């Protein structure tokens, strides 16, 4: 039996969250020849909100071409993209330890936004949603930031932290969607999947 849903994401958190919803899914990942990172280039003057939605839609387009190119059975495709922003600045995945420490120092003692866009492509068309959450970090010492960076957890994560891991101790307040901050807002995702006529 084909999957009820294709997930075009390498994130184990997104897989866990879909499983939590009870949605059967298969991964539809990029081929070695695809330049997935190129999709995440920020355009000049682009706002974080516009950026995250554009990148998510591009990922969906690429995943649809991938499914067709591989001759896979037709089923809805889900893509998601998460961006952390402080003011108008997008904090992507840290390039190295120094970059991670810089981002965390900027976030310490402030409130930032976590934007997660979701796109579902199906025979009924493309549907989009955007989850916006506000996260407040307590003040953090340089030593605390150094220990967290040394744990390796910040790497590969927007804003250099994962809320479901050790960074939870830095979070003083959340206003929004916890699952959205993790990378897949379940309320919005469930709504889009039902609109795509997916039964779960």
Catalytic residues: 81
CA gap 93, 167 in Å, rounded: 15
Residues 2, 196: contact at Cβ < 8 Å? no
Using the structure block, give the residue that is written with the tokens 């492509």: 121
Q: Which of 50, 159, 56 is nearest to 99 (CA)?
A: 159
Phi, psi at 63, each rounded to 5°:
-65, -40
Q: Tell me the C-alpha to C-alpha distance, in Å, between residue 114 and each of 5, 27, 49, 126.
A: 25, 24, 10, 23
């Amino acid at each position: 039996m084909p999957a009820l849903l294709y997930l075009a994401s390498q994130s184990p958190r997104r897989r866990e969250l879909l499983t939590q919803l009870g949605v059967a899914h298969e991964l539809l990942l990029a081929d070695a020849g695809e330049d997935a990172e190129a999709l995440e280039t920020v355009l000049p003057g682009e706002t974080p909100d516009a950026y995250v939605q554009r990148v998510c839609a591009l990922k969906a387009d690429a995943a649809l071409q991938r499914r067709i190119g591989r001759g896979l059975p037709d089923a809805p495709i889900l893509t998601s993209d998460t961006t952390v922003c402080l003011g108008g600045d997008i904090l992507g995945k840290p390039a190295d330890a120094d970059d991670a420490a810089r981002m965390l120092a900027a976030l310490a003692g402030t409130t930032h936004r976590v934007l997660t866009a979701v796109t579902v492509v199906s025979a009924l068309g493309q549907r989009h949603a955007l989850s916006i959450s506000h996260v407040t970090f307590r003040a953090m010492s340089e030593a605390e930031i150094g220990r967290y960076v040394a744990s390796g957890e910040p790497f590969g994560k927007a804003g250099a932290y994962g809320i479901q891991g050790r960074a939870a101790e830095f979070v003083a307040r959340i206003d929004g969607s916890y699952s959205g901050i993790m990378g897949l807002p379940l309320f919005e995702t469930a709504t889009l999947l039902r609109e795509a006529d997916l039964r779960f």
